[in-house]
Structure 1
Amino acid sequence: MYKLRGHHLFCLLGYRGMGYSKEYVENMTRIHQTLRANPKTLVQLVKGPDHLCEKYPNSGEYHCQDDNIYDRDAVILEKLGLHIGQIVSWEDIESSVQQHVIPSDIGIVCETCSWRSYGVCEEGVQRITTGNGLWEVK
């Protein structure tokens, strides 16, 4: 079971192998590909740092404790109809995305995210809403 915070659910949808450091990318790729290959994998929704934050590079301000990130987590969980402490399968998260999210939501919910300009998260939401699952990342 993975512990994930709200906004990382959206990050995983758009993930294409980019990240903050080699170690971060390796960790995110492993988690992403596990969820892709095994959508029944359980996820516990947590408040604050999660399994992805564990590998965030220690290079100054700790992004994972920023108030704006906590706010984004809460907005995304609310949008998906999920809550902190809940344990759900990845396929149930994808189902919530299909029911409650459209690609243009990324521009609103993730307005201040530095990764948004790549457009991959909107594409990831589109993939999920059409039943295509997560991208393959090698």
Structure 2
Amino acid sequence: MTIRLRPHHLLCLLTYVGKGYSAAFTANYDAIAARIGDGEDLLIVAEPDDICAPLLADAEPHCHRDSVIERDRLALRDLGELLATPPQLGEAVVLDPVLLRQMREAFATGRTRAACVGCEWHGLCTGISAGGFAGVVIPTG
């Protein structure tokens, strides 16, 4: 199978340590993180993705907000500047250890953090990257 992932979640997964919006969200994210860790392909999408799934039953899921769409745009832009072959919507991506390491280095230095401005998880992710990504669920390899 392929994991459907929106662009800003490419950044979120770099610092994922098992915390989330709810128990259902975290359990779902843990399962997705395990699949990513096993090398499953990612499909970059422009809508709520597999990580968003547990939130879509909410009365007003934030996954549809303009601010989230803007996070996706900024994440694609920043990752495009970082990578020789930037991710494109509708494209399959394999998150191998080399790419994961490169993305984490850029994240830690702030090169790919524009999408993170105003996010409620910003402080947590900043601390995780400052700590060398200790405790992340998806290892660099």
Query: Residue 34 of structure 2 aligns with which residue?
Result: 33
Aligned equivalent of 2:61: 62
3-state SS of 1:44 partner? strand
| Aligned partner of 1:86 among 84, 88, 91 | 91
Question: For 2:99 and 2:90, how far apart are their aligned partners in 1?
Answer: 14
| Structure 1: gaps (5+ residues) | none
Q: 1:73 to 1:82 in 2, by over 3 A?
A: same
Q: 1:93 to 1:52 in 2, by over 3 A?
A: farther
Does the 8 A contact of 2:42 with 2:93 survive in 1?
A: yes
Structure 1 residues 56 and 43: alpha-carbon distance in aligned structure 2, compared to 1, 3 A threshold: same
In structure 2, what is the equivalent of residue 74 of structure 1? 73
Paired with 1:33 and 1:3, the residues of 2 have a C-alpha distance of 14
CA contact (8 A) 1:7 1:73 kept: yes
Identity over aligned pairs, percent:
25
Question: Judging changes above 3 Å, is the alpha-carbon distance between structure 1 residues 15 and 50 closer, same or farther for their aligned structure 2 residues?
Answer: same
Give 1 or 2: higher helix fraction.
1
Q: Distance in 2 between matches of 1:85 and 1:21?
A: 28
- What displacement does 1:75 show? 1.3
Give yes or no for contact 2:74–2:114 (8 Å, CA) kept in 1: no
Report the equivalent of 2:10. Answer: 9
Residue type at the aligned position of 2:10 = L
Q: Which residue of 2 aligns with 1:117?
A: 123
SS of residue matched to 1:136: coil
Pair 1:93–1:3, CA change in 2 (3 A): farther
Query: Deviation at 1:70?
Result: 0.6
Deviations 1:23-43 (A, max 9, x none): 11000011112212x2x3100
Separation in structure 2 between the aligned mates of residue 97 and residue 107 of structure 1, nearest angstrom = 11
> Normalising to structure 1: TM-score of the pair?
0.78
* Secondary structure of the corresponding residue to residue 3 of structure 1: strand
Q: What letter corresponds to residue 111 of structure 1 in structure 2?
A: V
Runs of 4+ residues deviating >6 angstroms: none
Give the AA of the match of 1:89.
V
Deviations, residues 74-111 of structure 1 (Å, cap 9, x unaligned): 11122222110111112175266268x24224653311
- Once residues 47 and 56 of structure 2 are traced to their aligned partners in structure 1, the CA distance between those partners, rounded to angstroms, is 16
Q: How many residues align?
A: 129
